[in-house]
Chain A
Amino acid sequence: MLFKKQSQEKAISYAVPQPDARLEEELSPSLEVTVERLRQLCGETADLQVNRLTVAGAPAAFVMFEGQVNDQTLILGTASRLNQAALGDTPASRLESIYSGLFMAGDKKKFATYGEFIAFISSGFAVLLLDGAAQGIAFGIQGFGFRSVGEPSSENNLRGSREGFVEPIRVNMSMIRRRLKTPSLCMQLLKIGVKSQTDVCLLYRSDYVDKRMLQQLQSRLEQVQLDNLLDSGYLRPFLESGPFSLFSGTGVTERPDTLCAKISEGRIGILVDGSPFAIVVPYLFSEHFQNMDDYSERPYYAIFMRLLKYFAFFLTILLPGTYVAAVNFHPELIPDELLFKVAQAEQGMAFPLMFEALFIHFIYELMREAGLRLPRPVGHAVSIIGALVIGDAAVTAGLISTPMVMVVALTTISSFVIPSLYEPVAVLRLMFILLGGMLGLFGMVLGLAFVGVNLCSVTVLGVPATSPETPLSIYSLRDTLLRVNWRELGQQQFIISRTEGADMGEEGIE
């Protein structure tokens, strides 16, 4: 009996998100019935505001959620005009004349179901209901507070725009439209999330986008089964390759100029209401090593910086493992002078080298996580405690050797050069330490082959993430490993397109 009850509870708690059938109900012609039903559907919520008024002698009401609507616009732009206007005789004709002629709200819509009603008032619309009309009019006069447009926190640039995305989707859409003044820029709005009904916007250039790629993406988004969509990160797994892939075929950006550049290469951008990060599909591996500054700087410097980033990537994943492997299995690789010093430093250490490396990386990840989640001033304090107190004490206590501290410092600094790859880098670093410690350089190289094949298997919407390096397109290399002059780059626009048959289908991960 006990088991039966538990299994029932489990089934309920893991139920597949289902749409609420009550939201399909249509509005009643009676204002009172409609308002009462709305209150019931919203669970007698305290922030539902119903402002009653009389329009052409009949009862009416403005319905909204508290704090979502700009009160000044509501009073001056809409409510005060209602009493001055000459309206029709029947409720339906009154509603029509209000909708078609009376107000010049930027965004106004007629609706007839409770689902739409709740969606509108939740998005900051004020809804006008007239007694006798089984429809409502929603006015887009949002007035909710949001973070102002500021500098992106995760993608700092020396030159270029200082604007970053904010949480409201409309503001983000306007930032893109302002930059790309072309009629081919399409913005397609969708609602995702069975309960949250979050606005999602697909952005693409109709003249550049691959139609099959777009169709594939749209169908994937339609199949998303989520109860609530609260961040763009929720959507990425639905667009990516298989779950076992370390690398993603999608990217995120906080910068409108970056998104504009990506869209102008035939990619598709996805904005999610409430998230300041836009998703870019498909996202090539080489793009992790690019930033907007590359295009503002002199080409030779941009090339130098890109090569430096590739070097940093390999350094950050391979250095600790190589150090462990070289000291344990291949001391002949280390110059004698250095080997002598390393041996001296390692003498009397409490743990074997591999555990020492794992331990210090584990401590580092702990400190990083603590520093990230805590309030900024406390986060700084954690870093200082970590670096000075724990680091110094661990070396003095003989838990970590000084060369290992240097290796870790170099490794972590290198990882900051490519922040978008931090997730795979953190895992790979530990994997290579284990491989280097157990199998030496043989294990490391085998691990590198494993990572290589894993990366090569990532294909999103028919575009291999490793292109244009492999499959090789020599012409496209001009803006991957290299960055040629704008005079040459501008001559021919780079457009991303599907590699026919590269969908992996039955055979591959995707």
Chain B
Amino acid sequence: MNRETPIVKNHIGTLGATALVFCCRIFYLLTYSPKSEEYGGSVSMLAFFLAGVASILLCTVFWFMLRRCGAHSLPELYQRQGRVFATLCELAVLGVLSGSALSTVLNFSGFMSSTVYPGAGAQVMAAAVMFAAAYGAYSGMEAISRLAIPVTLVLLIGLATAAAGIVGSINPVYLIAPGPEGVPQVLELFFQALFHNTEVLLFLILSDKIREGSPKIYAWGAAFSMSVYQFTILLVTMALGPFAYVRSYPIYSMLAAAELSVLTRLDMINMVIWIFITYIRCAAYLYCICGCIRRMAPSWQRGHVSLGVGVLGALAGSYLCGGLNRGLALWELWSGAAPFVLAAGVLLLSVCAALLRARRREKE
């Protein structure tokens, strides 16, 4: 009797993985706001560029450290250090991933309930996104990364349409170089953008599932997202000028003002794109959360874990979106150094522990 050859490992295609990194990293563009003239377009562009480069460097360094320890991904590295260490690290990672998933939903629901559906309940939106993303997590990372490819294409087409619609309002005079006095602002925004970034952690968790998984994929995704950031901020700065500083969501405002022939509502394109991006980011984080839980409790079934994560995520998302103070608390924590410190701390701790152990073995 012929038997099927069991295949236990998934392999995410390189293009899919790049698109996934891109979609996850681009999310915060949705809520980009320069707030004041000191943090205007050119300051943001420079800061985001530097933050992108720094994240690529971080990813490369950590990846080489992983490989130095003989591991292909973070979970593999944890498992090698013993059960207790692995559980502690997984719990820390779970915390970072949960915070990222919740802050994604919080940001998105806040945007939707304040612009597209003024007055609508953000709780329902948060719960709906979490449930749908939990199904994405259940479907597997391969499905999510495959979906990321057309979504990236749609985003690029949407941005190109927006650019075509706003081209008449562009005025390069609004683009001012930061100069030496703008360095503190650039640094502030640089750290903010870097701290926000937990995609390095996501990539290092998934790296053994990616075909030819190397930091090149992260670098491509990050570079691509940086380019889109630069392009969009450039558009916003030149099209809206000082008006951008008084808007909560200047990109949305720019698209609402854009007109292209019969298309008079480009803000709807914006809405469609960001729902897809939010879905992919949320699904990717929930998938990794499910992975963490299943590594700690291997007997739990994938479907049950996904359902549980979906329900808990929906409840937590609804709770946080229910009151301004609750949401703000998480937002303040997450826009600070917490995610970066946690993610980098976990990464450094585990890699150092593994390296120390390896050195001790070599001596013995």
Interface residues of A (CB under 8 A from B): 212, 215-216, 218-220, 222, 329-330, 332-333, 439-443, 445-450, 452-454, 456-457, 459, 462, 464, 466, 469-472, 499-509
CB nearest neighbor in B for A501: B11
Q: Which residues of A contact B149 (CB under 8 A)?
A: 469-472
Some 22 contacts from A to B, beta carbons below 8 A apart, are A219-B2, A219-B3, A222-B1, A439-B124, A442-B271, A442-B275, A446-B132, A446-B279, A447-B132, A449-B132, A449-B275, A449-B276, A454-B135, A464-B146, A470-B149, A471-B16, A472-B15, A501-B9, A505-B6, A505-B9, A506-B302, A509-B143
Known contacts: A332-B265, A469-B150. The answer to whether A508 contacts B139 by CB under 8 A is yes
Q: What string of 1s and 0s marks CB contacts (under 8 Å) between B217-236 and chain A? A: 00000000000000000000
Q: Report if B295 contacts A (CB, 8 A).
A: no
CB nearest neighbor in B for A454: B139
Q: Report if B346 contacts A (CB, 8 A).
A: no
A316 and B271 CA atoms in complex are apart in Å by 22
**How many whole Å from B302's CB to the nearest CB in chain A?**
8
A10 and B304 CA atoms in complex are apart in Å by 29
Considering the complex, which residues of chain B in the window 132-150 have a beta carbon less than 8 Å from any beta carbon of chain A?
132, 135-136, 139-144, 146-147, 149-150
Q: Which residues of B contact A441 (CB under 8 A)?
A: 268, 271-272
Q: Which residues of B contact A446 (CB under 8 A)?
A: 128-129, 132, 275, 279
Q: Report if B7 contacts A (CB, 8 A).
A: yes
Q: Report if B283 contacts A (CB, 8 A).
A: yes
Residue pair B128, A445 in contact (C-beta under 8 Å): no
Residue pair B144, A453 in contact (C-beta under 8 Å): yes
Residue pair B116, A470 in contact (C-beta under 8 Å): no
Q: Which of B272, B280, B283 has the most CB of A within 10 A?
A: B272
Residue pair B139, A456 in contact (C-beta under 8 Å): yes
Interface residues of B (CB under 8 A from A): 1-11, 13, 15-16, 112, 116-117, 124-125, 128-129, 132, 135-136, 139-144, 146-147, 149-151, 211, 265, 268, 271-272, 275-276, 279-280, 283, 302
Known contacts: A442-B275, A445-B275. The answer to whether A333 contacts B268 by CB under 8 A is yes
A421 and B15 CA atoms in complex are apart in Å by 28
A442 and B275 CA atoms in complex are apart in Å by 7
**How many whole Å from A333's CB to the nearest CB in chain B?**
6
**How many whole Å from A110's CB to the nearest CB in chain B?**
26
Residue pair A508, B143 in contact (C-beta under 8 Å): yes
Residue pair B136, A453 in contact (C-beta under 8 Å): yes
A314 and B128 CA atoms in complex are apart in Å by 22
Residue pair A457, B2 in contact (C-beta under 8 Å): no
With A449-B147, A457-B142, A505-B7 already in contact, 4 other A-B pairs whose C-beta atoms are closer than 8 Å: A445-B271, A453-B279, A471-B146, A504-B10
**How many whole Å from A186's CB to the nearest CB in chain B?**
15
A441 and B120 CA atoms in complex are apart in Å by 13
**How many whole Å from A240's CB to the nearest CB in chain B?**
15
Known contacts: A446-B128, A501-B7, A504-B142. The answer to whether A452 contacts B2 by CB under 8 A is no
A506 and B271 CA atoms in complex are apart in Å by 34
Residue pair A212, B5 in contact (C-beta under 8 Å): yes
A501 and B2 CA atoms in complex are apart in Å by 20
**How many whole Å from A336's CB to the nearest CB in chain B?**
12
CB nearest neighbor in A for B209: A507
Residue pair A453, B135 in contact (C-beta under 8 Å): yes
**How many whole Å from A423's CB to the nearest CB in chain B?**
20
Residue pair A470, B146 in contact (C-beta under 8 Å): yes
Q: Which residues of B contact A508 (CB under 8 A)?
A: 10, 139-140, 142-143
Q: Which residues of A contact B4 (CB under 8 A)?
A: 215-216, 219-220
Residue pair B117, A440 in contact (C-beta under 8 Å): yes
Known contacts: A215-B4, A446-B128. The answer to whether A471 contacts B276 by CB under 8 A is no
A330 and B1 CA atoms in complex are apart in Å by 60
**How many whole Å from B203's CB to the nearest CB in chain A?**
17
Residue pair B141, A507 in contact (C-beta under 8 Å): yes
Q: Which residues of A contact B112 (CB under 8 A)?
A: 442
Q: Which residues of B contact A466 (CB under 8 A)?
A: 146
A212 and B279 CA atoms in complex are apart in Å by 35
Known contacts: A454-B139, A505-B10. The answer to whether A449 contacts B124 by CB under 8 A is no
Residue pair B140, A509 in contact (C-beta under 8 Å): yes
Known contacts: A218-B2, A446-B132, A507-B10. The answer to whether A457 contacts B139 by CB under 8 A is yes
**How many whole Å from B263's CB to the nearest CB in chain A?**
11
Q: Which residues of B contact A448 (CB under 8 A)?
A: 276
A332 and B256 CA atoms in complex are apart in Å by 12
A446 and B276 CA atoms in complex are apart in Å by 7
Residue pair A453, B9 in contact (C-beta under 8 Å): no
**How many whole Å from B39's CB to the nearest CB in chain A?**
30
Residue pair B136, A507 in contact (C-beta under 8 Å): no
Residue pair B117, A507 in contact (C-beta under 8 Å): no
A440 and B5 CA atoms in complex are apart in Å by 46
A443 and B129 CA atoms in complex are apart in Å by 9
Q: Which residues of A contact B147 (CB under 8 A)?
A: 449, 452-453, 456, 470
Q: Which residues of B contact A457 (CB under 8 A)?
A: 139-140, 142-143
CB nearest neighbor in B for A443: B128
A454 and B135 CA atoms in complex are apart in Å by 9
A443 and B271 CA atoms in complex are apart in Å by 11
Known contacts: A215-B2, A505-B6. The answer to whether A445 contacts B146 by CB under 8 A is no
